[in-house]
């Protein structure tokens, strides 16, 4: 799911977003609550009509944003008290309010309000947050009233496998339509993240969607798919695109690099995205000239690349060759990175 935090995937017009193969997007209840306000979105016909997207939308409840963005956050059993990062205004958000907001927005999938902690953290803090996440999930479930909105629970527990497994066990007993793995990409190493996924993802309900929140490096996604994960979101494709990084099968192309000044090749041979209709030299020129088209084109290319990667993964699973597909892709990326590191050292 491309991230459309505030009701828009930055810089990408909807017809182009559909052309990438995108089926579903993510928006964020925390950001929309602060600006323009839930009442405004509801008055303008709900989130789908407000932003013009006719496909499914998932809204995150705001637990991660309260952890990462809000000022002067205080977590109690009732909910979260915080100051807006936009204007400093004081807010309170309970599990019941998180559901009320998402139901007013009208998303197709809503997320429970969870308690996110940064890593590393003391074990007792991690355990307390995971236990509170379960209690909040139950309150969210009891508050939910829209039959046309699926409510997903979020497994917390930091890097502690027993805490994660117990959190998952209790959430499965509550029988949610889907389950997410949250609280990763908050300070742990890639290997620590993989250890958690290896322990948790395979024992999540196989008949319910399994969603890894906020993780989006291509190599991490393929590893997670191998363990049974179905859904992903991450700002990486668009954020990196805006900063001149393009994902390809040959690895990351840093388009501002001097080596691309007279490079007449596309970002990636065989890619049919609008960015690849231009040369690397032209794309570099756009970035160095401060032209907004450069970030838009690279963001679009990256979404195109990610959606193609997911389509290829689905096909490989159907043809029972996913492990071979994953390993060959990862080897390709590794070889390119080693070559680029060597060239940089020689330069």
Which position among 60, 114, 223, 249 bears the catalytic label?
60
The DSSP bridge pattern shows strands 109-111 and 90-93 to be unpaired
Q: Is residue 43 part of a domain?
A: yes
Report the percent of the chain where pLDDT is more than 70: 100
Same domain, 192 and 288: no
Whole-number average pLDDT of the chain: 95
- High-pLDDT (> 90) share of the chain, %: 89
Does residue 263 belong to any structural domain of this protein? yes
Q: Check whether residue 42 and residue 182 sit in a common domain.
A: yes
Q: How far apart are CA 152 and CA 145, in angstroms?
A: 14
Query: 117 and 160 share a domain?
Result: yes
Label residue 304 by pLDDT band (50, 70, 90): very high
Tens digits of per-residue pLDDT, 198-220?
Answer: 999 999 999 999 999 999 899 99
Confidence of residue 77 (pLDDT cuts 50, 70, 90): very high
In a domain? residue 156: yes
pLDDT at residue 18 is higher than 80: yes
> Could you say which of 214, 234, 254 is where a domain stops?
234
Both tokens of 29, joined, read 């209840």
**pTM summary value:** 0.95
Q: Which residue in 220, 223, 233, 249 is the catalytic one?
A: 233
Token duo for residue 309: 């990667």
Q: How far apart are the first and last CA of the chain?
A: 38
CATH number of the domain residue 51 falls in = 3.20.20.105
Q: Establish whether the linkage from the previous residue to 36 is cis, with ω within 30° of 0.
A: yes
Q: Which residue's entry shows tokens 């020689």?
A: 346
Looking at the fold, whether 203 and 290 belong to one and the same domain comes out as no
In a domain, 336, yes or no: yes
Q: Are residues 230 and 243 in the same domain?
A: no
Separation of alpha carbons 89 and 86, rounded Å: 8
* Residue ending a domain, choose from 196, 218, 234: 234
Shared domain for 178 and 76, answered yes or no, is yes
**Domain check: are 228 and 243 in the same one?**
no
- Respond yes or no: is residue 60 known to be catalytic: yes
On whether residue 5 sits in a domain, the answer given is: no
Domain count, the chain: 2
Which of 191, 216, 234 finishes a domain? 234
331 and 258 co-located in one domain: yes
Same domain, 70 and 129: yes
* Residue 135 covered by a domain: yes
Residues 290 and 219 in one domain: no
- The β-bridge partners of 111 are 152
Answer whether residue 105 is part of any domain.
yes
Say yes or no: 63 and 163 in one domain.
yes
Average pLDDT over residues 89-97: 95
Examine residue 183 and state whether it is found in any structural domain, yes or no. Answer: yes
- Tens digits of residue pLDDT in 215-260: 989 999 999 999 999 999 999 999 999 999 999 999 999 999 999 9
Residue 345 confidence (pLDDT) = 74
Structure tokens that stand for 328 in this block: 């060959």
| Whole-Å CA distances, 189 to 184, 238, 335 | 10, 22, 22
**Element of type H or E holding 6:** none
Structural domain boundaries enclosing 162: 14-234
**Would you state the pLDDT for residue 347?**
65
- Residue written as tokens 């805490």? 163
Residue 148 designated active-site:
no
Instruction: For residues 215 and 100, state if they share a domain.
Output: yes
């Amino acid at each position: 799911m491309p991230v459309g935090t505030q009701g828009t995937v930055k810089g990408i017009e909807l017809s182009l977003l559909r052309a990438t193969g995108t089926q579903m997007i993510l928006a964020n209840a925390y950001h929309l609550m602060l600006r323009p306000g839930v009442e405004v979105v509801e008055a303008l016909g709900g989130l789908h009509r407000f932003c013009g997207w006719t496909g499914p939308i998932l809204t995150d409840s705001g637990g991660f944003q309260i952890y990462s963005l809000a000022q002067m956050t205080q977590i109690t059993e009732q909910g979260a008290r915080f100051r807006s990062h936009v204007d400093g205004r004081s807010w309170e958000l309970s599990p019941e309010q998180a559901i009320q907001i998402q139901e007013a927005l009208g998303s197709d999938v809503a997320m429970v309000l969870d308690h996110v902690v940064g890593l590393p953290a003391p074990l007792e803090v991690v355990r307390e947050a995971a236990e509170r996440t379960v209690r909040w999930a139950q309150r969210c479930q009891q508050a939910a009233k829209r039959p046309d909105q699926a409510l997903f629970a979020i497994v917390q527990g930091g890097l502690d496998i027993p805490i994660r497994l117990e959190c998952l066990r209790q959430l499965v007993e509550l029988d949610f339509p889907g389950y997410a793995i949250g609280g990763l990409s908050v300070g742990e190493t890639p290997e620590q993240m993989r250890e958690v996924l290896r322990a948790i993802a395979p024992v999540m309900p196989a008949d319910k969607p399994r969603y890894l929140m906020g993780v989006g490096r291509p190599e991490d996604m393929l590893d997670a798919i191998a363990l049974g994960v179905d859904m992903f979101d991450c700002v990486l494709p668009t954020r990196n695109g805006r900063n001149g990084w393009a994902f390809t099968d040959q690895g990351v192309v840093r388009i501002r690099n001097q080596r691309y000044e007279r490079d007449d090749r596309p970002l990636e041979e065989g890619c049919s995205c609008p960015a690849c209709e231009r040369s690397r030299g032209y794309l570099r020129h756009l970035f160095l000239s401060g032209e907004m088209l450069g970030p838009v084109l690279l963001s679009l290319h990256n979404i195109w690349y990610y959606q193609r990667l997911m389509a290829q993964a689905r096909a490989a699973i159907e043809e029972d060759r996913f492990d071979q597909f994953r390993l060959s892709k990862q080897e390709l990326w590794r070889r390119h990175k080693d070559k680029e590191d060597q060239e940089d050292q020689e330069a």
